[in-house]
Amino acid sequence: MTLKMKKATSPAETARILAEVRREGLSIGLVPTMGALHEGHISLVKMSLERSDYTVVSLFVNPKQFGEGEDLDKYPRTEDRDVATLEELGCDLLFMPDRDSIYTDTDRTKVSISSLGDHLCGASRPGHFDGVLLVVAKLFNMVNPDHAFFGQKDAQQAVIIQRMAADLDFPVRIFLGPTVREADGLAMSSRNRYLTDDERNRAPRMRAGLVAAAEAITNGERDASMLKKLVTASMTEGGFEIDYVECVDGGTLQPVTSANGTILLAAAGKLGRTRLIDNIAMKVGPEGAAETLLEFPEWSRYE
Ligand code: PAF
């Protein structure tokens, strides 16, 4: 176990540490998190350790991305365990700011995005992506990373962040890590720990529906409404209160009627009080169809 991980709680301290890192000519990778780390986060930290000379993990439960009545107050906090996990992984710097070092009462600036947030989680969680973009823009400015790592599980978030980074000229390359899953297919999420045993047993039905739809695509089905029916049926069987089941273009995130090119099949729903999301991206062409990760080519102008 390496015990060399530094911890910073203020942007100024972070800037001081990173100025030295930059003087040494090292590349910096950033993995933004809200803590309650699971294997999904760990895989992103490992990606950063592989691709960057110096890895920064931020841990901040960002109040601005939680809506009224959402789970901000009960969002899981496992700080001691998170610190130990990151130390063991070999993370170089843990940036753990408190609310007041990120936001002030005089803040007035918003970061919002058009169209990419119209559907999926953007439609059901108004203001959510404004909150995500604001904090990620601040983190990008505070850390000035060469690379930043996000999970495909939050595919819409990743697309929106990539767009913001390109539009606002953050010279950062965004990498997407594949969704890490439990043995029964359930996507890892900090929120899974809210599930009762019974809900946990039913939770994989969302993934099962998405897999059924992906298989249908592989077998030639292109009709988005048929694909959505397969996902909906499986989630209904699992007792989900469905928030959305959508088939959207993987670049524009606008609904499509036919699955062609790179598409994202995405679903969200509640089991009891717990909201879960998942998705599968598929590359569909005349020669066939296969699961894929969404791709972000636009960083290349900073290579
Ligand atoms: O994906 C998350 O955990 C959060 O949305 C992020 C990117 C850390 C911003 O708060």
The domain limits of the chain are 6-180, 190-291
Q: 150: part of which helix (H) or strand (E)?
A: strand 147-151
Q: Is the CB of 32 under 6 A from ligand 1?
A: yes
Report residue 6 as tokens: 């530094």
One of 3.90.440.10, 3.90.320.10, 3.40.50.620, 1.10.10.10 is the CATH number of 6-180, namely 3.40.50.620
Q: Which of 44, 62, 143 to mutate to test the pocket of ligand 1 (most atoms within 8 A of CB)?
A: 62
pLDDT tens, position by position, 122-180? 999 999 999 999 999 999 999 999 999 999 999 999 999 999 999 999 999 999 999 99
Is residue 51 scored above 60 in pLDDT?
A: yes
Nearest atom, ligand 1, residue 139 CA: 9
Distance 33 CA to ligand 1 centre (A): 5
pLDDT, residue 3, reads 56
Structural class in CATH, domain 190-291? alpha beta
Predicted confidence (pLDDT) per residue in 191-249, tens digit? 999 999 999 999 999 999 999 999 999 999 999 999 999 999 999 999 999 999 999 99
**C-alpha to C-alpha distance for 246 and 265, rounded to whole angstroms:** 6
* Whether the Cβ atoms of residue 49 and residue 147 lie closer than 8 Å to each other: no
At residue 236, φ and ψ (nearest 5 deg) are -65, -45
- For 280, counting Cβ atoms within 10 Å of its Cβ (0-12 exposed, 13-18 middle, 19+ buried), the class is buried
Please state, rounded to an integer, the average pLDDT across all residues of the chain. Answer: 96
Alpha-carbon separation of residue 272 from 165, 208, 237 (angstroms): 36, 19, 14
d(CA 134, CA 132): 6
Residue 201 CB: number of other CB atoms within 10 A?
A: 14
The CB-side HSE value for 18 (13 A sphere, CA atoms) comes to 27
> Does the pLDDT at position 286 exceed 70?
yes
Whether the model pTM is above 0.95: yes
Q: Which residues form the catalytic set?
A: 41
**What are phi and psi for residue 110, nearest 5 degrees?**
-115, 150
Reply yes or no on whether the pLDDT at 1 is more than 50: no
Mutate to test the pocket of ligand 1, among 135, 150, 160, 189 (most ligand atoms within 8 A of CB): 135
Q: List for the chain the helix, strand, coil content (%; round to 5).
A: 40, 25, 35
Range 39-62 average pLDDT: 98
